[in-house]
Chains A and B, each alone.
Chain A
């Protein structure tokens, strides 16, 4: 038993170090005067952060990335939620087809999706195929599995038919039923899916680089550019990206946690 717990301690220690060291090193590096000769940084400074934040391109690329990720999140919710609800309630025969389309993206590498979209739609003109809207749609494809699964799971855990019939019997329209009755009950699934879409798209480099590139520079493209010529400022940018990713992930965990607590408080069903 002693040996087993020593082994467990070492495995978890290794895991925590592996997962945290690169992140902590990057954050510490962004505050260091110089840290390439000595074991500890030669003093602390905010210079790199200031230099990064003062650049016009910083706010511009951050805004572009927010536009793409919020856009992809918004349209994913709008496209997937009603579809999942309607298929669940009225057209269960359509479910395998929907599931196929939502699993397919797992098998399409980003570079292949970019190539396929360019080869299919280049003749529509650069204004369409290289536009931010095309990037949003492509990111939605990539994030489709992350949006559909939580919503479908939330619907499966709910007696949708009884709720819908009760609402309709009381005179609610379809829109009212969906927004006032169903939506609040599957909110945690929708929210969890939406946040996953946001965090996936916010760091998406491949599609952004190959579809829009310099025409609509996103934050990850900006980071990669910086890593080529200024490591310190790049580390500040990477730290921002880590913070966004961590905050979104914590929000996802919190949403999932509060959903299961909510279910527990209802007791066994």
Chain B
């Protein structure tokens, strides 16, 4: 103990930081180097140095279409997820039955972590051409889903994505809904506002940052998803993640430069969403003091 006290300050500091070395080594090897590698490779033309040639070659219709499809799918499922998730959360927090409240929150907790292959398959069993719900609707209500609807299509993907988007939003927005103070509502109503007026002019402006943050996180969540789409629709639907995976597996002619450019563009989109989410949720937290 006493020897350590006599060690020079810089050595002491070094050994204090040294204990964090394994973690930082892991982060650098598994996160920083891989990201820098693809970003710099996407901006390089082998033999010619810095260049945008990979991005120019990525302007092919198939790739542009994949970005358009992924952005649209993410926007639709994020928007529906925000609206439905907020309604669900509202129903949960305003419920007077404690058991129901806890059970519904726990269910949302579990479902958020669901996804991928088993979930996509569950949707085929439920809504496929001979699915359980498809048959029920036909027999009992005379509603034929097919051929107008197909679960192996974009609309099927939207329904499957909503399975994890809706509960995720319900969990994200819950603290903000619980933070709406009863006094604010009473004050608004005492001053002559209608219930609608309270929501329109008081609650909604307070909730806006949380809703925006939720939208961005759901958008990113959907943009990066791969397993659900791959199980449900295979290569039929042209999404960014499906294209990158096909490039990795070498199913299309191997063009590493294009894969790097697509991956870098995806990272940019994801970074904007996550940074926007962080900013919005710090704004949302101001009301919860």
Q: Is A253 an interface residue (CB 8 A)?
A: yes
Interface hit among A45-53, A79-87, A152-160:
A79-87
Contacts A35-B132, A111-B226, A210-B249 given; indicate if A234 touches B273 (C-beta within 8 A). Answer: no
CB–CB A110/B110 < 8 A? no
Q: Is A255 an interface residue (CB 8 A)?
A: no
User: What B residues does A64 contact at CB under 8 A?
Assistant: none
- What is the CA–CA distance of A223 and B163 in the complex, to the nearest angstrom? 19
- What is the CA–CA distance of A121 and B220 in the complex, to the nearest angstrom? 27
- What is the CA–CA distance of A210 and B117 in the complex, to the nearest angstrom? 14
Identify which of residues 241-268 in chain A touch chain B, using a CB-to-CB cut-off of 8 Å: 241-242, 245-246, 249-250, 252-253
Identify which of residues 31-62 in chain A touch chain B, using a CB-to-CB cut-off of 8 Å: 35-39
Contacts A108-B35, A119-B34 given; indicate if A206 touches B20 (C-beta within 8 A). Answer: no
Q: Is A11 an interface residue (CB 8 A)?
A: yes
Q: Is A166 an interface residue (CB 8 A)?
A: no
CB–CB B122/A12 < 8 A? no
Q: Is A167 an interface residue (CB 8 A)?
A: no
CB distance from B43 to the nearest CB of A (A): 13
Interface hit among A66-74, A134-142, A181-189:
A134-142
- Interface SS, B side: helix
Interface size of B by CB at 8 A reads 84
Q: Interface code B86-114, partner A: CB below 8 Å = 1, 0 otherwise?
A: 01101110110000100010111111011
CB–CB B110/A249 < 8 A? yes
Q: Show the binding face of B for A, using Cβ within 8 Å.
A: 16-17, 19-20, 22-24, 26-27, 30-31, 33-35, 37-38, 41, 87-88, 90-92, 94-95, 100, 104, 106-111, 113-126, 130-133, 135-136, 139-140, 162-163, 166-167, 170, 220, 223-227, 230-231, 241, 244-245, 247-249, 256, 259-260, 263, 266-267, 270-271, 273-274, 278
17 A-B pairs in the complex with CB atoms less than 8 angstroms apart: A19-B167, A20-B107, A25-B122, A26-B118, A29-B132, A79-B22, A101-B24, A103-B274, A112-B266, A113-B34, A116-B38, A119-B37, A119-B41, A205-B116, A209-B227, A241-B117, A245-B113
Additional A-B contact list (18), CB under 8 Å, known A19-B108, A116-B263: A8-B94, A23-B122, A25-B132, A39-B140, A79-B22, A83-B19, A83-B20, A94-B17, A109-B266, A115-B244, A115-B247, A117-B30, A118-B248, A119-B41, A120-B38, A205-B116, A209-B227, A223-B117
